[in-house]
Amino acid sequence: MRAVTFQAPGEVLVQEVPEPKITHTADAIVAIEASGICGSDLHIYHGRVKIEPGFTLGHEYVGTVIAAGEDVQAVGVGDRVLGCFQTACGKCFFCRRGWFHKCDTSRTFGHGAALGSLPGTQAEQTLVPNADLVLRRLPEGMSDEDFSRKVNEDKSSVQNSCDFLETSGFNAITSETDPKSRMADIEKFTLAFPDSKYQEPVSNYAMYTLGPGQLNDKERLVSFGEKILASNPNSLAALLLLANYYGDDSKPGSGAKAITYSQKAIEVAKPDAADADKSRKLSAGAAHNTIGWVYLKQEKTAASIPELRTAAGLLKGQDDQQYARALYGLGFAYGKLNKLTEAREVLTEAVKIPGPLQGMSQDLLTKVNSARAKGK
C-alpha cells in the first residue's frame, strides 16, 4: 500500500510500505479516507522532532474498519470511524481516572519510535491498537459534507458566547491596574484567543506592561515581541519594540538586528502612501530615527544623515522628543563631518524643544559656534 513517509528534514515521500496486520485481539485496521496534515507534522518535517527515516506520518483520520480482532466490541468491520491521535490502555492509574492522554503506555500515530512506533495515518490503511478506546463510530449516513456542515453549525451556535468571552477578557485586561496580574491575564487571553480581533491592542498593552515604569522586564518584552511577530509578521508595534530594544543594546549583532526590524517597520508603515495616517508616519519616523542612530554608533556618519533627515521630516510637529532626538543626531553627524552651517541650523531648532536633549543640544551648539568662529 502507499503511505506518506518522512525521509529527512524537508523531505517526505509517497512510497510502498507493507500493509498492517492485526497482531492483538484488541486491534482494528482502518482503511483511511481522509487524514489531516497538522502543525505537529511540521515539527517533524522541519527536523525539530526527530523520527526514523521511512516512518509513516499522520495522526488525524477518518476511515472505514476493514478488520477487527475478536475483542473489539465498540466498532466492527464496515463501520465508518473517526479516531484519536493517540492510544491509551484503559487500565492504568491514569486511564482509570479518565485521563487517557496521560496513559502510562500511550502511543501516538506517526511519531516514530520515541512515541511508541505506531505508523501514521497518511496511508491507505492504519493499524489501530485498543480500537474500542481509540475509535468512535460516525453517525449512520453522515457524509463528509453533512459532517462539516454540522461542525460549522455547532461553531456558529457558540459564536455569540465566544465573542462575549473574548470581549470580557479584553475588558479585564484594560481595567486591570496591577501590571503583574495584567500580564498574567494577557498571557491567558493570547492562548485562548490566538486570532483575536483585539490582537493589536492586547500586544500594545503587553509591551507597555513589560516596559519601563511597569514590570521593566526587557528579556520577557523581547520574547513577547518575537512571539507576536511569529503570528503576525506585520505587527508594527512589535517591529518597533524590537528595533528599539536592539538599537539600545550594545551586544555585537544588535545594530544589524535593529536595522532589519526598522526597515521592515518602514515597509509595513508605508509613510509615503496616500492613506498613511499620523500613527503610520510616526512609526516610520521612529524607525528611520533608530536606523540613523545605529549608523552613528557604527561611525557610518554620512549614511546616518539621510535617515535622520527623513526621521525629522516625519516627526516634526508630531512627536517632540523623537524629533529632538533626530535633530540632535543630525547636529552631531554634521559636526563630525565639519558641515558647521548645517549643524548650527538643526541644533538651533533642537534647543527650542524642552526635554532631556535640550541641554545636550545647547552644549553641542556652543561647540559648533566656537568652531565656526575659529574657522572664520
∠ CA(330), CA(335), CA(338), 5° rounding?
A: 130
Strand partners, 137: 81
Out of 89, 128, 296, 314, name the contact with Zn ion by CB under 5 A: 89
- The pair phi, psi for residue 127, each rounded to 5°, is -85, 130
Which residue lies nearer to Zn ion by CB, 92 or 268? 92
Cα distance between residue 206 and residue 184, in whole Å? 10
Residue 237 lies near Zn ion (rule: CB under 5 A): no
**CB of residue 105 to Zn ion, shortest distance in Å:** 6
Q: If residue 210 lies in a helix (H) or strand (E), which one and from where to where?
A: helix 199-210
Yes or no: say if 3 and 123 are a contact pair by the CB < 8 Å rule.
Answer: yes
**CB of residue 86 to Zn ion, shortest distance in Å:** 10
Cα distance between residue 344 and residue 325, in whole Å? 15
Report how many helices (DSSP H) and strands (DSSP E) the chain contains, helices first: 14, 7
Residue 259 lies near Zn ion (rule: CB under 5 A): no
Q: Which stretch binds Zn ion (CB under 5 A): 81-89, 120-128, 216-224, 243-251?
A: 81-89
Rg (CA), the chain: 30
Contacts of 316 (CB under 8 A, 6+ apart): 323
Q: Is 198 helix (H, G, I), strand (E, B) or coil?
A: coil
Q: Which stretch binds Zn ion (CB under 5 A): 31-39, 180-188, 297-305, 328-336?
A: 31-39
**CB of residue 42 to Zn ion, shortest distance in Å:** 10
Q: Which three cell numbers stand for residue 240?
A: 518597533
Handedness of CA 90, 91, 95, 100 (dihedral sign): negative
Q: Tell which positions 325-354 bind Zn ion, by CB under 5 A.
A: none
Which residue lies nearer to Zn ion by CB, 100 or 323? 100
What letter does residue 352 receive in the DSSP assignment?
T
Residue 84 lies near Zn ion (rule: CB under 5 A): no
Q: Which stretch binds Zn ion (CB under 5 A): 96-104, 154-162, 166-174, 267-275?
A: 96-104
Residue 26 lies near Zn ion (rule: CB under 5 A): no
Residue 365 lies near Zn ion (rule: CB under 5 A): no
Which residue lies nearer to Zn ion by CB, 91 or 352? 91
Residue 103 lies near Zn ion (rule: CB under 5 A): yes
Cα–Cα separations (whole angstroms), residue 248 to 241, 292, 313, 358: 11, 12, 22, 20
The residue type found at 268 is: V
Residue 92 lies near Zn ion (rule: CB under 5 A): yes
**CB of residue 50 to Zn ion, shortest distance in Å:** 17
**CB of residue 30 to Zn ion, shortest distance in Å:** 17
**CB of residue 33 to Zn ion, shortest distance in Å:** 17
Cα distance between residue 347 and residue 367, in whole Å? 11
Which residue lies nearer to Zn ion by CB, 92 or 165? 92
Strand partners, 342: none
**CB of residue 130 to Zn ion, shortest distance in Å:** 9
Binding mask 35-54 for Zn ion (x = CB under 5 A): ---x-x--------------
- Binding region for Zn ion (CB under 5 A): 38, 40, 88-89, 92, 95, 103
